[in-house]
Amino acid sequence: MKDKIHPKYVETTVHCACGFEYKTHSTRENIRVDICSQCHPFYTGKSKMIDAAGRVERFRNRFGDTKGTKIVTAKEKEKTVAETKAKKAEARKAKRSTKSKK
C-alpha cells in the first residue's frame, strides 16, 4: 500500500434515531442513521402500522376514483372511435331530415 493516500481508519460511534448506539470502525468519525437492526421490523419481527388508509385517501383525492375503468387496446379504441363517429353521422343525418320536413 502506498503511504499518505489512504484515509484514516478510526473507531466510530453509530447513532440511530431510536437512540441505540454502537461502536465500529470506519473512515468517518460519527455516523447518524434513521433506522438500525434494533428498531427495523425485519430484524425485530414486530410490524409497525403504516398509515395506509391515509395514503389511499390522499391518492384518491389527488387522482380521483377509477371506478373500474377498463384498459383498452389500440384496436379496441379504433373500433370504439369508429362507432362513435358513425353514431354522430347518423344523428346529423336524422337532424337534417327533420329540418327538411319542416
Whole-angstrom CA distances from 71 to 65, 66, 94, 95 are 15, 11, 33, 34
Per-residue confidence band for 48, with pLDDT thresholds at 50, 70 and 90: low
**What are 28's three cell numbers?**
468517518
Topology adopted by domain 1-48: Rhinovirus 14, subunit 4 (4.10.80)
Strand residue runs (E) in the chain? 10-16, 21-26, 30-33
- pLDDT reported for residue 56: 74
Per residue in 6-17, pLDDT (tens digit) is: 888 999 999 998
**What are 56's three cell numbers?**
389511499
Query: In the chain, where are the structural domains located?
Result: 1-48, 71-102
Chain position carrying cell 402500522: 49
Per-residue confidence band for 70, with pLDDT thresholds at 50, 70 and 90: confident
Do residues 41 and 47 touch, judged by C-beta distance below 8 A? yes
